[in-house]
Structure 1
Amino acid sequence: MKFHLGALIVLSLFGYCHVAPAFGDAFQLGTEQTYRYQSEVRAGSARNASRTVGYIVKGKVHVATVWGDDEHKLLRFKISDIVLHTVPGDVTHKTTLSAVSTSPFYAHWNLGHVKTLYTSIREDVSLVNFKKGIASLFQYQLLDGSYVEVDPSGTCDVQYTSYSSTRYHKAKTNCKFPGDRFERTEYPLRSLGRNSRSTDLTVGTEGTLEKVVAQDYLKYVVNAYDNVGAFIEAVTKLDLEGSADGVNSWPGTSIEEVVKQINLEEYTLTSQEFGPKKCEGVNCHGLVKLIKNFKNSLTNEQIGKQDASAALIELVQLGRKSSSEELNRIIKAKTLQEQKGQLLDLLGAIQTVESHAAAKSILTYETDEELFLAERYLQALAVGSRPKRTVIQDLLAMAEKKPTNDKFYDTLVQTIASMAHRYARLPSNSYDTDLVEMVKEFLLKRLEECRKDSCKQKYIRGFHNLKSPKTLEVLVKLALEGSPKISVTAMKALRSFSVFVWDDDFKAIFEDIFFQASKKFDSSARALALDILLDLKPDTEELTHIMQYLKSKDKVYEVKQYLLQKLHMLASRCPDFAEMLKKIVRRDPKLNNYHVIGARGLSTALTRTYSTAPSFNSSLVSLQEMSGGVLKRGIVDLTLEAEQEQFSMFTLGLFAGGLSSFVSSGDNEEIEDDSDSIAGMELTVQSSVLRPLVFFDGKGELMGHVWSGTASEPTPAYQATTLLQDNEERFPLQNGAAVKLSTIGAISIDLNGQVTMSLWGRNAHSKVEQNTGIAVHGSLSLETSFVGLSVDFNMAQEPQLHLTSDLDFSSESALCMQLMQPNSVLTYKVTNRVFIPEARYQKVLTTKITHNIPGYTHALNQKNNAMCNLIASSS
């Protein structure tokens, strides 16, 4: 009975499970298998998969077992009938690839793992990688499960799934490989590579490989754009054609002993990086020559246009390979004085030790021109994506000596803090890194030495740029205990932190500031505290608590209007929030009242779509906080968006104080004590706060501007060309070749403004123009000594934004704002190329698309429309 029971169990196993063949019978000593080999690679645009370039390699692979035991085998590989032809065109070429037929190579095979590859000494890197690709096809397992394998793709997690006793599927994920890799820490500025690596294989009943189909697929797209990028697909096939016996075996007690007799070089299966030959000939330019070619694109007239951005992209890649002597010669060239500003943008974008050594010679501030150039380089460094420890240390040593020019010193402090923030976010770094700690301690020490508010504000802005969680307590204390100016500056810094750092204790502090529970706070500090509370996504109970403020008797009614505007803005972006808001209002009769939800005030908060596909995905956020009928704090923020993540590309901030006496209408609004007349601009470029630009400070200086008309002409406020995208990585294929991926983008900004004021007519007019040139260059390339292919994609656009405002304070104050985007043109170009270096052959496919993007005026709100109609009717 026991016998019958055992037999039933065995039969059931055969009926429901696949029985894997044994490895011990595979690749028996003295046998040779012949396979048909084909590797096809195609690449093209992510938008149009029908226009591709590529190549196909065909041949035969003879695999003989020349030494072995039950577990270890030494396999000898010979290649014959190898041919390569390109696609499209189906042109066959003779290349160095034919050299693989001249000498065999060997592999140590151990129960399905290829441990080591052995080839001729000092062989061409591309040919060695090609052989690794072939040998790696013989790496497979016969039992389902998870494994870790090393092959040309790197060290990968591998999952085997059996379809039958002889058919298997192999999926590779999480491949790690050596080599430099760089990407921006901000998700919207990255490029995403979606990839799959899989193999289907068939083995004989004895475990010998019979058929392989290995596939690699990669789609490389720019996160900020929909379907802008490239793809590559590689399919490698191996089919058993026949077997033979009688192959001579090698004597020896181990593989090492056998290999020593043949005199071979040892390799792992991971592909090596192929460095193409040094460029020679008339098409190869040094940086000096390239700058001369782009000379016209580097003039001040081109700032804010796509030519300036495209030039920076081309120059920065070569500049990162240039010596300090070459860069120094460029920056001092007399023929490039007109281009000096943009050359300093270039040195800041290059951000190498060599570029900093060249730029240090101009870090002086004796004249206004020298100060302008020095600050321009520092501001370019502040937004650079590749901060160097040596450069930060050098700037910190300079700041310790406290330069005598306060504007230069302020910019230096902000640059150091911004660079330390970006340095902390690099892989393997953090805010605990010693250099970042040194910057934090420097700011804390200098802050403690300050006695005047203007001095303290400088270092608080430094904390704003550093964004270290270790400074939160200091900033909160300044917000709670500092003067109104200090409190507002500290709250701006706190507003820049991620919402994930706020716990219930911090939340209670922001509620205290907004509701003025402990004392009175500046309305701007309260508005910023409100921003943080709303960013924390309050639930129904928390939002109800915030909205109770609308029923208060607070006479600073612009804060109430600001709250209402923010609620409307969030409701327009989130249907769930809008529904929650409606429920709160409907269930409270005192709140659901015109006198409450129709509060007075000119403050506005709105968000609008700035651009969508085919352009970049972007939104525009405008916050205008008013006081006494005039602007107190205004922000226009241009954000880049991708997958629910946002990145602030550029923020224009305006601030003013002490102007209410010129326009106050005396309608019982509580005006905050603001004795000093001041106005200025605060710019934030890629989350880095710059030194504020003060238009006037004091009523005397204000009246001087009004009577002289010095502010009535368009005046540049910010001009620079900086990098946006800056990503590089490598994607090795199963066939041994490696794909290089690169995306680099730049933005050129020209911001200028003008204001006119008439005390006689009691009105004012202002206009701010932001002219922007954006260029993005991406590349997917595969290059070997015998064949290469590439897909280059380029985008360019010149979006503009005009903000105009008209203020009439002849009777009841009325403010009309208009936010306009003029027409723009977006060009998208893709170049597919396949080439054979030795044959001087190439095939190029080019696609160019132009999109005309119509301009429009953003609808702000009904109150703004009414005031615009009122001003228009009275003019």
Structure 2
Amino acid sequence: MAGSTGVNLKCIFIFCALFYECFSITFGPGKTYQYKYETIVNFNEAVSYGKTVGFQLSTEFKIGEIFRAGDTQLLKVQVTTASISSFARPEVKGELVKLIKYPIYFEYTDGVIGRVYTSEVESIFCANVKKGLLSLFQLQETEGQRDEIDVAGECSAYYAVYGGRITKTKQNCQNVEIAGEYENVNKMFGVSPDNSFVTHYDTADGIIKSATGSSRHSIVINARPQLSAAVAAIQRLHYVSDAAGAAAISANNIKEALDLIYKGEAKKYREMLLPSGPEVQECTENCEKPVSILQNVKEDLTSEKLSKIVSGKAYLKLLRAFRNSGKASIEEVLTHKDSYNIVKQLIDVAAATQTPAAHEALMQLITFTDESAIDYPERFIFASAYTTHPGEYLLKGMLELMKKKVPNESLRESIALGMGAVVNSFCKPYGNCLEYSTIAEYVNYVETELKSCEEEECKLLYVRSMGNAGLAKFLPSLLNQALNSKSSTVSLTAIQGLRRMKISGFKDQVNQVLKSIFHQNKRNYDSSVRIAALEILLQNGISTGGLRNIVLSAMYDQTEFEVSTYLIKRMKDLSESDPKFRSSLAVVLSDPMVNNYNLFAQKGKSSAFTGYLAETSSANCTYGLYQENTKSGVMKKSAMVVNVLNKQATQPLLTFGIYADGIEALVGDAAEGEESTEATAGLSLTMMDVLLRPVEFFRGMSGLMTAVWNAPSEPVSALQGNLLLQDYSHKIHLSNGLIVDASVLGVASIDLSGKISISLWYKNSHSVITNSGALVVEGSLQIDSEELKSGIRFSTESEAFIDFQTDVDFAEMPVKMCLQMKRPPISSRNSVEKFEKTPLCVPQWTLTNEAQKTIAIDRLPFQNVCQYVMKFMMVKILICANISATFKYSMNSKILCPVLYIQSLFLLQDQYL
């Protein structure tokens, strides 16, 4: 038995040795192997497929050993024939002679490719194509996973071996050089890339008989998956024959062997790694200087064209030029005589460029020391707050401005808020960005200044900056201000500052503080502070027991009946969209001691409501209307919240918040203790989750009446600008050595304007608020080479506006009011362009497909509501007050919102007479 076992083990050993030998890849000395090779590159949409464009490159080459140093071979590859043809038009074909001219050499050790050598005069394009060919010879004969330096970068490769057949799958390929690559870290406005690499080999007698490889790369716009593009690369290698080759070079090492090869030539060799390299491209006939582009787009960038498609397209065209330009070229545009009327729009472009050169050019233009001239600085801060990939140079510059304490208080607050927003964008890609000295300096500065503040305004400045930054490091400071501040405004702002923080790891700590505030365990809090704490508690998710305690507080605590009313309506509203919360609430309400008349028969008028503004297959847009009243029934705070939701994320778009104190005296029904409160109203505006500088409408009766008499009867633009939403740039290294440039840019051009006429004599008013905007998204996948031009471009553009019209007649009671919300159908135009241009065909061949789609709106709130004002009309009043409030944000329209606010006061008055 023992002898039999020994024989079996010996047979197994011999079989394994033969099996290993049959596909161990070797290139014997003195032999040359001839192969045929072809590669195909084609472009198409990633989702819906149309006609494909691209090209096919076919070659024959010889490979053989010319020197060996131990286990390392120096192999030579000489292309003997090369041709190229159009994929869409096979009849267009010809020779690619430049690929034949120079051989390429590479080090080869146990199936791993090392350094690559070629002539100094070899073009990068030809070198990349040959590298793609070489990469097929990087092959391991043992099964398993390993990391490799590949033509596509640093990859994780997995080998599956089936006798003489090997399958190689590559994953997680990372570019060796990532300079100039960036993306918007905001998932809603991001891009979802996808890629796959697989190669199948047939081996026999120690050589590769054939190989077939394919790689596919795609990009899909998250916000609109219909916008997509894909590129596929196919490689085929086929063994032809072998023959006797040239004698090996006699040398001591590889360097000496290469010196002998290039001896006597004017140009020496160039040493490279296997990953494909970028071509250095000069400015071609399609490359324009920014100042030349300015001449073509200056009319489209005027204030009158904002919110139009032409404005968005002009913005993107100039942005691309700025990103490829230096400081002098950008400064030339900013100070050009043709830029006089469009400087603000040029500031939008320069800030979105996000390069040190553009930032330096802007700093030459803008001054922060003039207390009265703040239009340009404000526009710069506004645009910088929405940068997609800010550099540390921007952080340093804004931190210096923040520390300088500029003379204008409003500008100083804008800088603090903008700095927080830039910090948030900078830190999102990192788990902990405090390792950056500028971030650590900002954190220490803000916390130190907050501790030294004594005045409410000082504390609010730093608390708001912390909220925009959204750093977990600020959590203890915000919770401390929320819990212990004597100012209800500071407490409220600190709670709202938690909105951008990832508090999942601190959930218990946060909930404990918020519960203490809501239930007033230690002291009494303003009702608005309690409601803000309630909102975050409900969104974070609390235990069934905690939810029961909150519900019971609404039943038994009627000293703050407006809070109880809001609580019940908000829970009902949330239960309609959150299944988990609905289940917890159902458990609580299953108890008859809770689910009864005492709970639901609240006497307050506060409200909370959420509905759909638009529904599509890829995303939904929701609006929320929230209102808190005083005990007298007059509106205290209200908000309109607009969010966009898709599979990737929920993105807050707009939040309009209005606050009012002391208004009861104006309608003649102030509650006890509130008679002496000064009448005050203001607005907070959050756009794209970035809190902008709050604005006070008026303070006192004189301020209110001044607003009435200065109401604008002609349309006034209150907030204008171009905001960069989509921003993606990436280099895709194909398996055949070519590089594809992937780019997506998207801009929202917005204009919020309005007008109002009010007559105290005729006791009526008419107002029209127009929210208009345009969206332009342009993307492409194209070969990054001057030798070959092929790719796909896609774009979408749409334009829309919403009119809010309010007519009020308060000549007699009851007050008559008509609210109308109008929006025409949205027309969206999509375009796909596929093109190819080879060295054989000078004119570029283009295939264009355009589609236009009209989206009808059939679910708008208050589309045409005209009726008498009743108590249940509070929500309808709210939407007018909220939308109109946005226009106060402009420094040039200080009176628009207060007047519309007066309208709501007149409407409210009818309920209390």
- The normalised TM-score by structure 2 is 0.87
Q: 2:503 aligns with which of 499, 502, 515?
A: 499
1:662/1:117 CA distance change after superposition, 3 Å: same
- 1:666-687 Cα shifts (integer Å, max 9, x gaps): 8xx8997881322222222333
1:39/1:618 CA distance change after superposition, 3 Å: farther
* 1:625 and 2:628 correspond: yes
1:47/1:536 CA distance change after superposition, 3 Å: same
Residue of structure 2 equivalent to 1:566:
570
Q: The residue matched to 1:19 in structure 2 has which SS?
A: helix
1:327/1:76 CA distance change after superposition, 3 Å: closer
8 Å CA contact retained: 1:349, 1:723: yes
Query: What's the offset of the Cα at 1:462?
Result: 1.7
Residue of structure 2 equivalent to 1:58:
58
* 1:484 and 2:482 correspond: no
Distance 1:870 1:533 in 2: 27
8 Å CA contact retained: 2:366, 2:377: yes
Residue of structure 1 equivalent to 2:78:
78
Residue of structure 2 equivalent to 1:130:
129
8 Å CA contact retained: 2:745, 2:777: yes
Residue of structure 1 equivalent to 2:902:
none
Match of 1:65, as an amino acid? E
Which moves more between the two structures, 485-494 or 656-665?
656-665
Residue of structure 2 equivalent to 1:166:
164
1:108/1:392 CA distance change after superposition, 3 Å: closer
Query: What's the offset of the Cα at 1:758?
Result: 8.2
Distance 1:816 1:632 in 2: 23
Residue of structure 2 equivalent to 1:776:
777
Distance 2:376 2:87 in 1: 51
Number of aligned residue pairs: give it: 864
Residue of structure 2 equivalent to 1:747:
748
1:731/1:15 CA distance change after superposition, 3 Å: same
Query: What's the offset of the Cα at 1:125?
Result: 0.6
8 Å CA contact retained: 1:183, 1:190: yes
* 1:279 and 2:284 correspond: yes
* 1:347 and 2:360 correspond: no
Residue of structure 2 equivalent to 1:654:
658
1:41-440 alignment, distance < 5 Å = 41-68=41-68, 71-94=71-94, 97-162=96-161, 164-177=162-175, 178-180=177-179, 181-204=181-204, 206-245=205-244, 247-263=246-262, 264-280=269-285, 283-360=286-363, 361-363=365-367, 370-425=373-428, 430-440=433-443
1:415/1:567 CA distance change after superposition, 3 Å: same
Query: What's the offset of the Cα at 1:210?
Result: 0.8
1:868/1:507 CA distance change after superposition, 3 Å: closer
Residue of structure 2 equivalent to 1:508:
512
Distance 1:226 1:346 in 2: 26
Match of 2:38, as an amino acid? Q
Q: The residue matched to 1:798 in structure 2 has which SS?
A: strand
8 Å CA contact retained: 1:819, 1:857: no
Match of 1:500, as an amino acid? S
* 1:541 and 2:545 correspond: yes
Distance 1:670 1:279 in 2: 76
- 1:444-477 Cα shifts (integer Å, max 9, x gaps): 3443454432333222222222223222222222
Query: What's the offset of the Cα at 1:778?
Result: 1.0
Q: The residue matched to 2:82 in structure 1 has which SS?
A: strand
Residue of structure 1 equivalent to 2:825:
823
Query: What's the offset of the Cα at 1:865?
Result: 11
Residue of structure 1 equivalent to 2:458:
455
- 1:384-432 Cα shifts (integer Å, max 9, x gaps): 2233333433333333332222222222222223223333335597134
8 Å CA contact retained: 2:765, 2:809: yes
1:12/1:110 CA distance change after superposition, 3 Å: closer
Q: The residue matched to 2:42 in structure 1 has which SS?
A: strand
8 Å CA contact retained: 1:591, 1:597: no
8 Å CA contact retained: 2:188, 2:648: no
8 Å CA contact retained: 1:196, 1:217: yes
Distance 2:281 2:474 in 1: 48
Query: What's the offset of the Cα at 1:215?
Result: 0.8
1:578/1:202 CA distance change after superposition, 3 Å: same
1:671/1:176 CA distance change after superposition, 3 Å: farther
Match of 1:230, as an amino acid? A
Which moves more between the two structures, 488-497 or 111-120?
488-497
Which moves more between the two structures, 169-178 or 394-403?
394-403
Distance 2:67 2:40 in 1: 32
Q: The residue matched to 1:826 in structure 2 has which SS?
A: strand
Distance 1:25 1:423 in 2: 48
1:783-798 alignment, distance < 5 Å = 783-798=784-799
Distance 1:696 1:756 in 2: 19
Residue of structure 2 equivalent to 1:697:
699
Distance 2:875 2:750 in 1: 33
Distance 2:617 2:159 in 1: 41
Query: What's the offset of the Cα at 1:68?
Result: 4.0
Query: What's the offset of the Cα at 1:211?
Result: 0.8
Query: What's the offset of the Cα at 1:543?
Result: 2.5
Q: The residue matched to 2:608 in structure 1 has which SS?
A: strand
Match of 1:772, as an amino acid? G
Distance 1:606 1:98 in 2: 70
Query: What's the offset of the Cα at 1:533?
Result: 0.7
Q: The residue matched to 1:298 in structure 2 has which SS?
A: coil
Query: What's the offset of the Cα at 1:13?
Result: 9.0
Query: What's the offset of the Cα at 1:846?
Result: 0.8
1:133/1:637 CA distance change after superposition, 3 Å: same
Query: What's the offset of the Cα at 1:757?
Result: 7.4
8 Å CA contact retained: 2:125, 2:279: yes
Q: 1:867 aligns with which of 869, 873, 878?
A: 873
8 Å CA contact retained: 1:820, 1:856: no
Distance 1:111 1:98 in 2: 33
Q: The residue matched to 2:844 in structure 1 has which SS?
A: strand
- The normalised TM-score by structure 1 is 0.90
Residue of structure 1 equivalent to 2:645:
641
Q: The residue matched to 1:502 in structure 2 has which SS?
A: helix
Match of 2:202, as an amino acid? T
Distance 1:6 1:300 in 2: 91
Q: The residue matched to 2:215 in structure 1 has which SS?
A: strand
8 Å CA contact retained: 2:724, 2:747: yes
8 Å CA contact retained: 2:612, 2:623: yes
Residue of structure 2 equivalent to 1:722:
723
1:231/1:621 CA distance change after superposition, 3 Å: farther
Match of 2:257, as an amino acid? V
Query: What's the offset of the Cα at 1:864?
Result: 9.9
Please report the RMSD computed on the Cα atoms of aligned residues, expressed in angstroms. 3.5
1:255/1:374 CA distance change after superposition, 3 Å: closer
Match of 1:289, as an amino acid? S
Distance 2:596 2:759 in 1: 39
8 Å CA contact retained: 1:665, 1:811: no
Query: What's the offset of the Cα at 1:154?
Result: 0.7
8 Å CA contact retained: 1:424, 1:433: no
Residue of structure 2 equivalent to 1:685:
687
Distance 1:548 1:559 in 2: 13
Residue of structure 1 equivalent to 2:527:
523
Which moves more between the two structures, 222-231 or 334-343?
334-343
Which moves more between the two structures, 289-298 or 70-79?
70-79
Match of 2:125, as an amino acid? S
Query: What's the offset of the Cα at 1:173?
Result: 0.8
Match of 1:140, as an amino acid? L
- In structure 1, stretches of 5+ residues that fail to align are none
Distance 1:701 1:133 in 2: 73
8 Å CA contact retained: 2:614, 2:857: no
